Structure 1
């Protein structure tokens, strides 16, 4: 099968099209014939040598796909060869076929665009597990999400709206700001022109007169840690899921203790399979019906052929995208 492999850590050009053996499957897995694969920032980190796959996982990048089931493991029930699916992966999505634990599959209806379905598993599972699972956000609270125009950000806006959560996002351009407003964001902060800490306390006002975000979903890491803590309301929860702004910094623990603020950090890829299966089950129960109905929709910036993985990585690094970039097998690619 064709696959995209990393010749050595480096720039996008190190991504190469190679011929790889079609992988075997375990008893609890299915083999998915890949139609499309989502491109995520975790893939960029892996390409640079900063984010190794979990033990036992393939080194082929790609954390989410859509496609059809080609083969069933001996212990798999409830699925059939030919079923259209979207899947959360530990790796291997940049290929023509990938093994997937059956519990990490989501059903794609016949009338749903199979290409667009590839944009959903990673972002839905990431946002749900972090704002609900870690952040414990509830209806009526304020959620602040950094990178509102990203795949994570555009998904978070829609999930917040679905849950009755008020959401503010940060963006770096008016083009992205306008898109986020149209998508349903309650407030948009241009981090290039505004202090997001001050704006969070102006926007996120509570019935008792207190201010600040109840939950912050952060993709930046060390660079934003102090300001994120200051942007939280009392009893606020900061959840860090990225490290674009570095990994090391210092904080004053007093900022956390007296106002009872908390900080947690997670990655989805490194979680045990059982946790991923549980998260996908929650997504299937709480979010997937809204996807099928169109209340939550995939936001696609551009599709490209699988062989153009280097160009896809460069486009994501350039940061102009709104929503997801997808790699499509045997496709010409198109601008969204």
Structure 2
């Protein structure tokens, strides 16, 4: 099979097209003939030498694919009744930049009704991440009065960002989002958020103004660094801050007194090294709570550009430029 490998840590040009043996599924795994692969920020970190695959995972980058089930172990827990020939999208721990990939059966979901392969390729990494962090860890729900809680998404035009905006909005939550220019702000607003241009506006002041001084209940943060202290100011009492990336740096200075006074909870997570059982449980929640929203037309994939797989370097260069709005994909 053809595959994209990382020749050595470095810039986008270290990605090269190569040939590898087709991987063989192990117990509980299935083989997928890949039609398209998602491109995600962790792929960029891995290529640069900053995010090694977990033990036992493929050294090839790629955390999500869409394609056709070929063969594998269907004898165990198979909650969606999948079988060879079915079209699925799947979350992987690695190996997605290839014509064939293996995935645990529990991390494979049927392609939503009415959705094409490219659209489905954009789903797993973003939706698994958003559900796990916004709804499970962040606990976005309803307040004591029964009103829907509010969410602030830092980096609303990213793949994760557009997913978080759409999903929270579809479930009835007020959503706010930051973005780096007016075009990106308009894109966030079209998806259901009230947008803040972080280059020209203070997001803390704007959030306070738009919430009548209360602040938001949950913040999904992909920046960290010096944003953390300001996010505490933007949170409501009993608010929750969920950190899933550190694009602004890993060190943060904060006022512990404010943390205590406002009863703020801080958490964070990485999805890739979690167990198959953990990810399979998220898949079940997505199938029950999110997949019907696609069928109803209340959610839609936002795809910025599709690259031929041979131009994975171009996709990575665009990802690092942060000029895209939505998802980047590789087509096989």
Greater alpha carbon shift after TM alignment, 129-138 vs 246-255: 246-255
Q: Is the 8 A contact 1:221 1:243 kept in 2?
A: yes
Instruction: Select 1:132's aligned residue among 126, 132, 135.
Output: 135
Distance 1:68 1:9 in 2: 31
1:251-266 equivalences in 2 (<5 Å):
251-266=254-269
Q: Kindly report which structure 2 residues correspond to 1:61-72, keeping only aligned pairs within 5 A, or say none.
A: 61-72=61-72
1:179 to 2:187 alignment: yes
- For residues 71 and 151 of structure 2, what CA distance do their matches in structure 1 show? 41
Measure how far apart 1:109 and its partner are: 4.8
Deviation at 1:276, TM superposition (A): 0.6
Q: In structure 2, do the counterparts of structure 1 residues 146 and 108 end up closer, same or farther at CA, with 3 Å as the change threshold?
A: same
Q: 1 CA distance for matches of 2:112 and 2:276?
A: 25
Gaps of 5+ in 2: 143-147
1:73-102 per-residue CA deviation (whole Å, 9 max, x = no partner) reads 152552211100001111111001111111
Other-structure match for 1:153: 161
Q: TM-score by structure 2 length?
A: 0.95
Q: CA RMSD in A?
A: 1.2
What residue is the counterpart of 1:16 in the other structure?
16
CA contact (8 A) 1:32 1:97 kept: yes
Corresponding position of 2:290: 287
TM-superposed deviation, 1:110: 6.4
Query: 1: CA distance between counterparts of 2:166 and 2:235?
Result: 22
Partner residue in 1 for 2:276: 273
- Per the alignment, residue 333 of structure 1 pairs with none
Distance 1:250 1:161 in 2: 32
Equivalent pairs counted in the alignment come to 324
The Cα shift of 1:72 comes to: 2.2
Name stretches of at least 5 consecutive residues in structure 1 with no aligned partner.
330-336
Q: Do 2:64 and 2:96's aligned partners in 1 also have CA atoms closer than 8 Å?
A: yes
- Kept in 1: contact 2:63–2:94 (CA 8 A): yes
Which is further off, 250-259 or 94-103? 250-259
SS in 1 for 2:52: coil
Q: Secondary structure at the match of 1:222?
A: coil
Matching of residue 141 in structure 1 with residue 149 in structure 2? yes
1:314 aligns with 2:328: no
- The DSSP-based 3-state class of the residue aligned with 1:5 is strand
User: What is the alpha-carbon distance in structure 1 between the residues aligned to residue 10 and residue 297 of structure 2?
Assistant: 39
TM-score (norm 1): 0.94
Structure 1 stretches (4+) deviating beyond 3 angstroms?
none
